[in-house]
Amino acid sequence: MISVLAIDLDETLLRNDGSVSERTLKALAAWEASGRRAVIATGRPPRSARKIPDALLHLPCVCYNGAAIYEDGVQQYARTIAAADGRWIVERLLAADLPGFVGMEIDDVLYVNRPTDRWGHVYTPDLLTMADQPAAKILLSMRDYLLAEPSMDGLPDSSRVLLSEKYDLAQIMPNGSSKATALHYLMDSWGITLSHVAAFGDDVNDVEMVAEAGLGVAMDNAVAEVKAVADRITASNDQDGVALVVEELLEV
């Protein structure tokens, strides 16, 4: 029986204008009122993951594509790229003299070597001054990463690359981190398994959790990789796709 919802934010729970529909909020409230649980599972950092309706702020949150878990506002789990490996990566990206920015997520702050309007950040012209600290992720555009890829041969074993065509985004993550891995950890702490989880997602960072959940749900606006591993496809994020499935599960 499904007793937990794991829901991505962007283009899944959130509509294209960044809001959550009243229908979805009502369905989630009914879900929790029935004694069942819900979890946010997002690629966002904690500061951005909190930019959701107040009615959902109490939910546990898997952030950074699974590199961190927050429960009751307390970090319960963390994976990072080792400082030496992060420096190796950043040195090579900067040496490639890319047209866009390179960013490092460290302790819920994004440091970037060039200003960008994509996210809140701290402009740090000499990014190497930050590179002696463990990072939750290293960010740049996918197009820039592909330009730099020849110089990235031999990427450290502690890291992996996640490429999203949907957002033109390359995320260099701690190896072994994923939303699925973090959810396994959280569910273990709750005494249940992923077979009791319905996971909702739309992009490549959702593939593992959608594939491994008891019920994997792809949004109609999801990329092909997510749809290929999903148990079902629901309506889009702008058409209450999450609410449709939750309402059905409430009837079980």
> What CATH number did the domain enclosing 95 receive?
3.30.1240.10
Which range of residues forms the domain containing residue 193? Answer: 4-78+177-250
Is the same domain home to 69 and 181?
Answer: yes
pLDDT of residue 73: 87
| Global pTM value | 0.94
pLDDT of residue 118: 79
The last residue of a domain, from among 133, 153, 174: 174
Contacts of 245 (CB under 8 A, 6+ apart): 198, 200, 215, 217, 232, 234
pLDDT of residue 117: 84
Question: What would the pLDDT profile of 97-128 be if each residue is shown by its tens digit?
Answer: 999 999 999 999 999 999 888 788 999 999 99
Closest listed residue to residue 145, CA positions, set 93, 82, 204: 93
Residues of the chain where predicted confidence (pLDDT) is lower than 50: none
How many domains does the chain divide into?
2
The last residue of a domain, from among 133, 154, 174: 174
Is the same domain home to 151 and 205?
Answer: no
Is the same domain home to 44 and 15?
Answer: yes
pLDDT of residue 105: 97
Q: Cα(221)–Cα(226) distance, rounded to whole angstroms?
A: 10
- Phi then psi dihedrals of residue 186, to 5 deg: -65, -45
Is the same domain home to 90 and 169?
Answer: yes
Is the same domain home to 185 and 73?
Answer: yes
pLDDT of residue 119: 81
Question: What would the pLDDT profile of 38-52 be if each residue is shown by its tens digit?
Answer: 999 999 999 999 999
> What CATH number did the domain enclosing 200 receive?
3.40.50.1000
Is the same domain home to 57 and 181?
Answer: yes
Is the same domain home to 73 and 187?
Answer: yes
Q: Cα(158)–Cα(234) distance, rounded to whole angstroms?
A: 35
The last residue of a domain, from among 155, 174, 193: 174
- DSSP E strand stretches across the chain: 4-7, 37-41, 61-63, 68-71, 74-78, 103-106, 109-112, 122-123, 137-140, 159-164, 169-174, 197-201, 215-218, 232-233
